[in-house]
Structure 1
């Protein structure tokens, strides 16, 4: 079998007005809720950012403030040993590691239509035999719209829905984009790529850079992607008229057998940006097929194993370290606050757990 490479799905021109792009950027950003705990309270705090998400998405007690609509999955990672030279993490030694995961769409509304955004996400928790965990949150877009936590918060403010229309104010978004040209690669990618027709046939990217550390202590900057064996197919016209199709599609596919993704690790070259998630690395970088992610089961997140997992991407085993990307510490701080709020709400009101099609409480 030919080793897959991280794909650049063929461009598909999709006319998109400014307000629509603003909504996409908002919900995509919602998947990451970035704000650093080390920023001073006078400037920015996790509470201000999470409060902004609650304002923009409405009140949904017991749910994640972002990626509220999703489904639990489980399976394993079958390492081929190829990445063991890059990282001493035992997940890369030959053999299998159990995995709990979660497919979702960005946004804080658990009842949002699957067609409300063109982005899909995949979060995973690998539990190594030594008890250490590797948690990662990935999206189907290889870049992030902004570079810093401050920009992210400004974007939230600009994308606040107008009560009269329920949509972001195009003038506010236009002003934000003009002041932040870093958003252009993300906007261009969204305009040029159709959303996938399934969770199963999408690629998922780490977006942020990390560092793999080998047994000798040598560190290399890397990004990774989950590349599906299922051929990519764009969303169909019939699906565009459906509110909930992604979970049903996933369940149907799993009835026919497990789904598989190659874990492709891309190694940075000297000079590649490792602290800016708005920039892709040039083509031609070293890529390592580290093994196969195998998803065997899906379960409603109302009672599934992913419900109580905080997919904090800075929970890393020995052999993997965060880079100096300022968004990583920010992600961790905001994920923690979101987790604490929803679990407190659940503890105070056990009746919050209401199963929904392709939705969930977490």
Structure 2
């Protein structure tokens, strides 16, 4: 599993993916968050992920455990009137992706996470590139980078000071950030999937599609699986690696397919708050099919060195005013630089 012959010790707390599973002491203080005001830097955010899950050389600081996938995206042309991006013209684009679970420990059990993630790098025949990182929950626990930083602090202290059965820490965090209730409720109402291939994945943040006349439309997207959703079984909770093994077994039967669906915002729908869903009656457009044909271990697979920066966007797709997008982009770059540097240092000593 590891890119280096280091011993991996299982354990650690999940930082983002399961608020209800984190308990312990929590206080909003300058000493705890490490901030005296303003937005945390990418380095501070990644330091905090490392404080939660430990340092695992050569691995991503979040979503450390995953598997590479390859395939293609067949656009049906339905989004072409909304966006001048060539990826939405009718035709096929090549895909390199990564399926993963949340958390920074690459040895954690699959059953410890109740959110799956799908990241894609889509390359059109003309050379344009679109990267998107999606989660199996359509919303995020917090709205701002500052709140994320505080949540990571709560997770760190939970790991260090938890008394078994205590919920005081997360209760305190949720009292200070009531928006997290929506995320926890969604997880409660939607048990995790039994496989990577039967989960839907969501952009979470809003983006803007730009047409040939320069008109902008706020959207979110998701990919809906052709395979029927099946909830996680009790027996799987004791299986540390059922997701990657199940993916390989499923692909022996044939490719996996998801339909990409774009949801159009209406005036008044917030674009700067990833903790809020848009109303269910918004227009939705099926814009094409994602097909996954092959999986490969991330140790040497084609996704290994890709940073799935959500702001790597082609002409015709633009970021919204969601404050998490710039923070995510910077944190992905910081995580990528750290693991690449670790690989260089390791290679230099061989």
TM-score of the alignment, normalized to the shorter chain, above 0.5: yes
Equivalent in the alignment of 2:150 = 154
Q: Where do 5+ consecutive residues of structure 2 fail to align?
A: 1-12, 23-34
Report how far residue 237 of structure 1 moved. Answer: 2.2
Does 2:248 align with 1:257?
Answer: no
- Partner SS for 1:108: coil
Equivalent in the alignment of 1:88 = 84
Report how far residue 203 of structure 1 moved. Answer: 0.1
On the 8 A contact 2:14/2:53 being kept in 1, the answer is no
1:314-353 → structure 2 map (5 Å cutoff):
314-350=311-347
1:10-159 → structure 2 map (5 Å cutoff):
24-25=18-19, 44-159=40-155
Match 1:192 to one of 189, 192, 196: 189
- Partner SS for 1:74: strand
- Structure 1 segments (4+ residues) deviating >6 Å: 19-23, 39-42, 166-169
Whole-angstrom CA distance in 1 between matches of 2:62 and 2:166 = 21
TM-score w.r.t. length of structure 2: 0.88
1:186-225 → structure 2 map (5 Å cutoff):
186-225=183-222
On the 8 A contact 2:259/2:287 being kept in 1, the answer is yes
Report how far residue 174 of structure 1 moved. Answer: 1.3
- Output the aligned Cα RMSD: 2.4
Match 2:273 to one of 271, 276, 286: 276
Equivalent in the alignment of 1:360 = none
Compared with structure 1, are the counterparts of its residues 154 and 135 closer, same or farther at alpha carbon in structure 2 (3 Å cutoff)?
same
- Partner SS for 1:276: coil
- Partner SS for 1:83: coil
1:187-236 Cα shifts (integer Å, max 9, x gaps): 10111111100000000000000000111111000000000000000011
Number of matched pairs: 324
- Partner SS for 1:264: strand
Does 2:233 align with 1:236?
Answer: yes
TM-score w.r.t. length of structure 1: 0.85
On the 8 A contact 1:123/1:135 being kept in 2, the answer is yes
Whole-angstrom CA distance in 2 between matches of 1:257 and 1:351 = 41
Does 2:175 align with 1:181?
Answer: no
Whole-angstrom CA distance in 1 between matches of 2:45 and 2:233 = 35
Compared with structure 1, are the counterparts of its residues 324 and 43 closer, same or farther at alpha carbon in structure 2 (3 Å cutoff)?
closer
On the 8 A contact 2:16/2:102 being kept in 1, the answer is no
Match 2:295 to one of 291, 295, 298: 298
Q: Where do 5+ consecutive residues of structure 1 fail to align?
A: 1-18, 29-38, 353-362
Compared with structure 1, are the counterparts of its residues 41 and 198 closer, same or farther at alpha carbon in structure 2 (3 Å cutoff)?
same
On the 8 A contact 1:80/1:92 being kept in 2, the answer is yes
Report how far residue 350 of structure 1 moved. Answer: 3.4
Does 2:301 align with 1:307?
Answer: no
Whole-angstrom CA distance in 2 between matches of 1:45 and 1:234 = 37
Compared with structure 1, are the counterparts of its residues 40 and 171 closer, same or farther at alpha carbon in structure 2 (3 Å cutoff)?
closer
1:63-85 Cα shifts (integer Å, max 9, x gaps): 00000000000000001111101
Whole-angstrom CA distance in 2 between matches of 1:47 and 1:175 = 26
Match 2:245 to one of 236, 244, 248: 248
